[in-house]
């Protein structure tokens, strides 16, 4: 996400950070490169123009030009303006008390509406709200079945329909079911088209009038860039959308849609889809995204992901083992599996300050490498996992055969484990920095 833009901006700011003094000419030169980087990232032209103008007004001020660290001040200004461009605050879906909150999902065909409906349903269920999903895309039979399958996977009730049914009636029935069944949220998956047409819009307007939704969320494929922004404008003009969900953000290296859509439509990005799994829907944090774009990482998101996979008890148990020198290969295996739960390693690295730029250099340490390490440890006996000193040459050969790897790979794993153990012991010593609690990575 934003990989290409981040690399270009890093080169721009590297030049100015090393200068003790900046003048207007230096600022203008840097901003020309920033402008080109944003345009190449497929950011809307007017948005880029306004952004560069706002940065320049602040960057040529006395506070920056006479600062001891003018380059860093400019980076701070760019960060502030990026956050402002994307919306400054996190925008949630406000839940209505004493009746179901009605959410209408809209967008073009192929944008990911149906999958996102399931992801939203899962999110509300996990937070304690009782969701109901309505299959109102009666034009595409596969959409009805897809939502029904998601409902079974998530154990969420779906108001199913038949192809050709009137979607307005279907949504009205869904709302009635939600009211009678004491549901907290009803999410309506409406039809899309490959392009905008009058028939689609008339249908959506009729649904809006019939169910009076509290939220109309426009779902867009982030990888379509400015096309997504233009379509969002049309949907907003016709329907009055309340927010945007960008899907496939994990595959969008440029980021033009995410950087433009709020500024163009005035409507906030509420969520981003970061993968195909049903838990891969994240709230959109403008400040965290700006931080990642500028190579500062996103530690808060990393901590939140860690909180979901590492319990307080597990963390304390691990800390005690490290302090007592009992950290074993079995513990090493468990921690690798915990890290895998945080998401693809490439995403995790991008959240750690300073490591995002190293992704290419350590691309060989990918998710498959973690799987290989786990397979090697799985081929050991429990005694061997508890005491790595038992692993002589013959045992290493047996483990290599059992895991489908080679002895050099087994040796490399044992070396990695020894180094990790040493580092953790050092950090856990008096004056070290290892303080494991819920939300902190073990290493």
Residues 59 and 164 in one domain: no
Token output for 56: 């320049």
Residue 95 lies in a domain: no
Question: Would the pLDDT of 381 be above 80?
Answer: yes
pLDDT for 110: 87
Residues 27 and 170 in one domain: no
Mean of the pLDDT values across residues 51-78? 82
Whether residue 183 contacts residue 132, with contact meaning beta carbons closer than 8 Å, is answered with: yes
Residues 183 and 36 in one domain: no
Residues 280 and 339 in one domain: no
pLDDT for 249: 85
pLDDT for 369: 77
The total number of structural domains in the chain stands at: 3
Mean of the pLDDT values across residues 316-338? 70
Least confident of 290-294, 296-300, 317-321: 296-300
Mean of the pLDDT values across residues 105-109? 93
Instruction: Identify the band that residue 442 occupies on the pLDDT scale cut at 50, 70 and 90.
Output: very low
Question: Would the pLDDT of 163 be above 50?
Answer: yes
CA distance 143 to 190: 9
Spell out the residues 6+ positions from residue 314 whose beta carbon is closer than 8 angstroms to its own: none
Q: How far is CA 393 from the centre of its chain?
A: 44
Residue 437 lies in a domain: no
User: The domain spanning residue 187 has which CATH number?
Assistant: 3.40.50.300
Residues 316 and 368 in one domain: yes
Mean of the pLDDT values across residues 105-118? 93
The percent of residues in the chain predicted with pLDDT above 70, rounded, is 80
Residues 32 and 76 in one domain: yes
pLDDT for 120: 96
Residue 320 lies in a domain: yes
pLDDT for 311: 57
User: The domain spanning residue 386 has which CATH number?
Assistant: 1.10.260.30
Residue 96 lies in a domain: no
Gyration radius of the chain's alpha carbons: 26
Domain's final residue, options 294, 315, 339: 294
Residues 330 and 245 in one domain: no
Mean of the pLDDT values across residues 282-300? 76
Residues 280 and 246 in one domain: yes
Residue 306 lies in a domain: yes
Q: Structural domain of residue 138, as residue ranges?
A: 101-294
Question: Would the pLDDT of 179 be above 80?
Answer: yes
Residue 436 lies in a domain: no
Spell out the residues 6+ positions from residue 65 whose beta carbon is closer than 8 angstroms to its own: 21, 22, 23, 24
Question: Would the pLDDT of 317 be above 70?
Answer: no
pLDDT in tens, 7-44: 888 888 888 877 777 788 888 999 999 999 999 988 99
Residues 261 and 169 in one domain: yes
Residue 433 lies in a domain: no
Residues 218 and 309 in one domain: no
Residues 380 and 323 in one domain: yes
Question: Would the pLDDT of 320 be above 80?
Answer: no
pLDDT in tens, 38-63: 999 889 999 999 999 999 988 887 76
pLDDT in tens, 408-423: 999 988 988 887 777 6
User: The domain spanning residue 61 has which CATH number?
Assistant: 1.20.120.140
pLDDT for 364: 46
Residue 93 lies in a domain: no
pLDDT top residue among 156 and 435: 156
Domain's final residue, options 20, 54, 86: 86
pTM comes to 0.70
Residues 144 and 286 in one domain: yes
pLDDT for 305: 56
Domain's final residue, options 61, 86, 111: 86
Whether residue 292 contacts residue 252, with contact meaning beta carbons closer than 8 Å, is answered with: no
Write the secondary structure of the chain as one string of H (helix), E (strand) and C (coil).
CCHHHHHHHHHHHHHHHCCCCCCHHHHHHHHHHHHHHHHHCCCCHHHHHHHHHHHHHHHCCHHHHCCCCHHHHHHHHHHHHHHHHHCCCCCCCCCCCCCCEEEEEECCCCCCHHHHHHHHHHHHHHCCCCEEEEECCCCCHHHHHHHHHHHHHHCCEEECCCCCCCHHHHHHHHHHHHHHCCCCEEEEECCCCCCCCHHHHHHHHHHHHHHCCCEEEEEEEHHHCHHHHHHHHHHHHHHCCCEEEEECHHHCCCCHHHHHHHHHHCCCEEEEECCCCCCCEEECCHHHHHHHHCCCCCHHHHHHHHHHHCCHHHHHHHHHHHHCCCCCHHHHHHHHHHHHHCCCHHHHHHHCCCCHHHCCCCCCCCHHHHHHHHHHHHCCCHHHHHCHHHCCHHHHHHHHHHHCCCHHHHHHHHHHHHHHHHHHHHHHCCCCCCCCCCCCCCC
């Amino acid at each position: 996400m934003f990989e290409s833009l981040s690399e270009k901006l890093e080169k721009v700011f590297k030049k100015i950070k090393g200068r003790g003094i900046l003048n207007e000419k230096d600022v203008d030169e840097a901003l020309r490169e920033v402008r080109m980087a944003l345009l190449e990232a497929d950011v809307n032209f007017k948005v880029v123009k306004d952004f560069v103008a706002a940065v320049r007004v602040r960057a040529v001020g006395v506070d920056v030009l006479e600062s001891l660290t003018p380059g860093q001040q400019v980076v701070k200004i760019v960060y502030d303006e990026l956050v402002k461009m994307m919306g400054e605050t996190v925008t949630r879906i406000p839940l209505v008390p004493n009746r179901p909150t009605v959410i209408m999902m809209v967008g073009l065909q192929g944008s990911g509406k149906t999958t996102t409906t399931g992801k939203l349903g899962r999110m509300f269920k996990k937070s304690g709200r009782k969701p109901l999903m309505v299959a109102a895309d009666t034009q595409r039979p596969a959409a009805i079945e897809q939502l029904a399958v998601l409902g079974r996977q998530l154990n969420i009730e779906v108001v199913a329909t038949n192809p050709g049914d009137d979607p307005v009636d279907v949504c009205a029935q869904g709302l009635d079911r939600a009211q009678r069944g004491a549901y907290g949220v009803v999410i309506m998956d409406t039809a899309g088209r490959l392009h905008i047409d009058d028939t689609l819009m008339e249908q959506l307007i009729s649904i809006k009038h019939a169910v009076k939704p509290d939220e109309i969320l426009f779902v867009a494929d982030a990888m379509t860039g400015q096309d997504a922004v233009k379509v969002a404008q049309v949907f907003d003009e016709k329907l009055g959308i309340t927010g945007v969900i960008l899907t496939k953000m994990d595959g969008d290296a440029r980021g033009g849609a995410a950087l433009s859509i709020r500024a163009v439509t005035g409507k906030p990005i509420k969520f981003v889809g970061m993968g195909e799994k049903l838990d891969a829907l994240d709230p959109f944090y403008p400040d965290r995204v700006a931080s990642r774009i500028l190579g500062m990482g996103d530690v808060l998101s990393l901590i939140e992901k860690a909180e979901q996979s590492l319990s307080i008890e597990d963390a304390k148990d691990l800390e005690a083992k490290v302090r007592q020198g009992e950290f074993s290969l079995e513990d090493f295996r468990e921690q690798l599996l915990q890290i895998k739960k945080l998401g693809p390693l490439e995403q995790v690295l991008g959240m750690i300050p300073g490591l995002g730029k190293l992704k290419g250099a350590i691309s060989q340490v990918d998710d498959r490498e973690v799987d290989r390490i786990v397979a090697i440890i799985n081929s050991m006996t429990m005694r061997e996992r508890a005491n790595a000193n038992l692993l002589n040459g013959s045992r290493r050969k047996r483990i290599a055969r059992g895991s489908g790897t080679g002895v050099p790979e087994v040796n490399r794993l044992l070396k990695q484990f020894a180094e990790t153990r040493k580092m953790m012991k050092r950090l856990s010593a008096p004056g070290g920095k290892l303080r494991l609690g819920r939300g902190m990575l073990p290493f």
